[in-house]
Every structure is written in structure tokens, then in C-alpha cells.
Structure 1
Amino acid sequence: MSRTRTTLALGLAAAGALTLGAAPSTAAPLPSPLPAAGSTTVTPAGHAFKATLSGKATLKAGSVTVTCTVSVSTGTVPAAPGNHNPAGPVSSPISAPTYSSCTSSMPGVTPTVTTSGAWQVSMQHGSPITATMTVPTGGLVVRTSGLASCTVVAAPTAPAGVPGTWTNGAPPSLTFTNTSVPVKVTGGFGCPTSATASTFNAVYKVADTTDPAQQITVAP
């Protein structure tokens, strides 16, 4: 006789026979199933929002840090029932964030940040509430001029998810702390061409622009 052993991890099934009276198996134990994602609801459904940088945003590649003090992005909470997911995150398309009033840690170097493509943010209720901002392929480019001419392309070969946290409040906030973003750096002397990742830090305050008296909220 035999019995079928099924692994729940990742939903993949594999069968194996075990003969009665045989010696105990020495195979490694099966991995535990991954926990199911909880439900997420973002309200008010269908409301537009605006995310505005609070303080400064920094993007560090190698020994070079670019700091911007102005950044804005807009989006819309999905209309019902799309604003609720019983087992996972709720995603919203957002405008490519703009970045201006930027400076470089390298003396005599002026940075310019441009963004493009289809950006997205997704929210997953939990403790903490997690948020992922998706940068499309090549969707953020930093170019420097002056004593060093460098080009830094974020998400150079594929879209990149930038993990952060969401905090409900008045206003709510979206925070990215020491988040790693893949980059490709090209240029001459002074450019951190060996860097393959950049560290991103920023805090955004989010306002409901459909009804400023309300707050965008992430709940179960």
C-alpha cells in the first residue's frame, strides 16, 4: 500500500509512495505553507489623492547622494468593489512622481531627475501596513552635469518594487526607509559606475483631493 504526500507550499503537488514496514524516511521535512495574505480595503472608494514629499528624498548610489526637497505624485483609489481584496493588496496606478529642487553631495555637480512610464502603488493591510511602489523599467533617471557627467537609471532591466510602510492618520503617510532600488550607472570620472543598487529614503503625506475633509485609509 502507499499513501500520497502533498506539499501545500506554493500550491505545488508532488506524490511519493511509502511502503508499510519500511525504514523511516531520511528526506528533509516539507516546507510549511506560506501564510495567506489578509484582506485589504482602501477607502474612500474612487477618491483621488495627492502624495506630497515631507522633508527630503534621498537617492544614494555608491558615495554619491542626490537630495530633492520637492516631489509630488497623484492617483485614485479604485472604485468599489476594486478597492477591496479579500486575500491580498489593493493596487492603484499613480502618476510618475516629479522630483525637483535637487542637489548632489559632489561639489560642483548639479543633478536633474526625470521620471516616466506607468507607476503603481499597492497597499496590504497588516501590522505594519505595507506599501509597494512599482518603478517601471527605466522609469527614473538621474543625470548630473558640471564636474561629473553621470547617468543613473533605476530599474534598468525590469520593473522594481520599492517596499515601504503606510500609516493611517490625518494626514496618512507613506514612508520608504533605506530601501534598495536596482540601478545602472554610466559616466566618466567621479561617477559611481560600480554601483548596482541605490538606497532610497522618503516620506510622503497623502491628501484626499476629492474631499479634503476625508482621509485615505487602509483597513482589513
Structure 2
Amino acid sequence: MAAGRRRRTRTVRRARGRPRARRRHPRTQRAVARPRPAALPYAYPHAFVRGREPSAARTTRRTKAGSVTVTCTVSSSSGQVPAAPGNHNPAGPVSSSTTPATYSSCTTSMPGVSASVTTSGSWGVAMQNGAPVTAGLTIPTGGFVLKTSGLASCTVTAAPTSAATVNGTWTNGAPSTLAFTNAQVPVKVTGGFGCPTSATSSTFNAVYKVADTTAPASQITVTG
């Protein structure tokens, strides 16, 4: 009986280590690095903000001159976080410029009267870290003009003789908010019948939701 050949087996072991990287098509090897916004100190003592270009939008703004109330459901403005060292002031608030706030979808409390708002000039905002964080919105001279038409044709000019600052508060959140409650703004009212021409101040109420346009997932916050 013939003896059969012994079958040999061979065991191959792979060396331990990192797995071999797949070869990719040259087009798929390209990558775009997206820098993550750093925590930048904003203009307040011991305060920090994430992002560079905050934008405030989607707010309900109410202005009352005399017995007439004008409500605008949409308002927006944008600006930029000051670069160091201008973003820190241990002696008080730090200011930064913003675009003139825009207002749309405005209605009035007077039947048969419509309203529109135009803005101009260099607007600004300043904040001071504290409890609460205080904020100030600066309106340049004549930078806000409200006009009504219909049964009453009136013109309301805010900050008629000099720049005016509207005082409010900042609240950290997702998103953070900049709120003005019953703030007083100097105004001049001109027009005919139905216009509150004797009014010298207007009551301002608004809540702005502040977002970071460079990194929407980040929040702009002020901390101490």
C-alpha cells in the first residue's frame, strides 16, 4: 500500500500595527480645513465671546409716541466683535459699530394708518459685564425716521438733535438676547391732524436674538 503525501499547511500572520490606508482617488484626497472660532475676549471686563460677526435679527420692536404704537415684527443688524486689544476694557464698557438696524412688517395701533421705517448713519452697541450685563444701543443723530401714511401723515425722528443711547440688558443663552424694556428715546414729531406733535420721547421695546454668522452652531456669550 503506497504511502500518501503529507499535506502541508502554512499559517500567515499579519504583523500588528496600523491598518493600511486605502488608496483614494486624487480628487477624494483633498480636504478643506475649517478653523474653529476661538474664544475671543469681548469688550467687557473678564468677558468672553465666541465668534467674530454677531448678527441680531428676528425681533418684535414696539415704538410708542403719544398714544400711537408702531409694531415692527422683523428687525436686523450686524456687526463684528472688536479685535484685541480693543475687545477688553477693565475700566468700563467697550463699544463696537453695527450696521443701521432695519425694520419691516410694521403696523400701527391707529386704524387706517400704515407705517414704514428708514435708518441711516453709524450705529453702535456697548456692553458692560455685571449682574445683569448692561447694554447700550447708540442711534446717531436723525438715524431713525418713522413715517406714517393714510388717515394721519406723521414723521417721527429719533435722536433729532444729537446721538442717543438706548439702555438694555444682555442675557446669555442659545441664542443670547439683547432686550430693551420701556426704554426712553428722544424724538421729534411733525405732521398734521392725528400726529402727536407734542411728544418729545418715545417708549422703545425690543428683543434681539443674537447669532454668530461665522459659526451658526456657536453661541455668543458674555461671561465674567
User: Common fold, TM-score beyond 0.5?
Assistant: yes
Contact in 2 for aligned 1:39/1:125 (Cα 8 Å): yes
Which of 22, 29, 44 matches 2:50?
A: 44
Match of 1:90 in 2: 94
Match of 1:53 in 2: 58
Deviations 1:6-41 (A, max 9, x none): xxxxxxxxxxxxxxxxxxxxxxxxxxxxxxxx8253
Which of 164, 168, 174 matches 1:164?
A: 168
Deviations 1:125-161 (A, max 9, x none): 0000000000000000000111110000000000000
Gaps in structure 1 of 5+ consecutive residues: 1-37
Q: Percent identity?
A: 68
Distance change >3 Å, CA 82–CA 42, structure 1 → 2: farther
- Higher Rg: 2
Letter in 2 for 1:128: P
User: Is 1:138 aligned with 2:148?
Assistant: no
Structure 1 runs (4+) deviating above 3 angstroms are: none
Distance change >3 Å, CA 40–CA 109, structure 1 → 2: farther
The Cα RMSD (Å) is: 1.2
Match of 1:207 in 2: 211
1:87-166 → structure 2 map (5 Å cutoff): 87-166=91-170
Superposition deviation, residue 173 in structure 1? 0.3
Q: 1: CA distance between counterparts of 2:103 and 2:193? A: 25
The count of residues paired between Structure 1 and Structure 2 equals 181
Q: 1: CA distance between counterparts of 2:192 and 2:48? A: 46
Match of 2:184 in 1: 180
Contact in 2 for aligned 1:41/1:85 (Cα 8 Å): no
Deviations 1:77-97 (A, max 9, x none): 101221111121121101100
Superposition deviation, residue 214 in structure 1? 1.5
Contact in 2 for aligned 1:40/1:124 (Cα 8 Å): no
Contact in 2 for aligned 1:171/1:207 (Cα 8 Å): yes
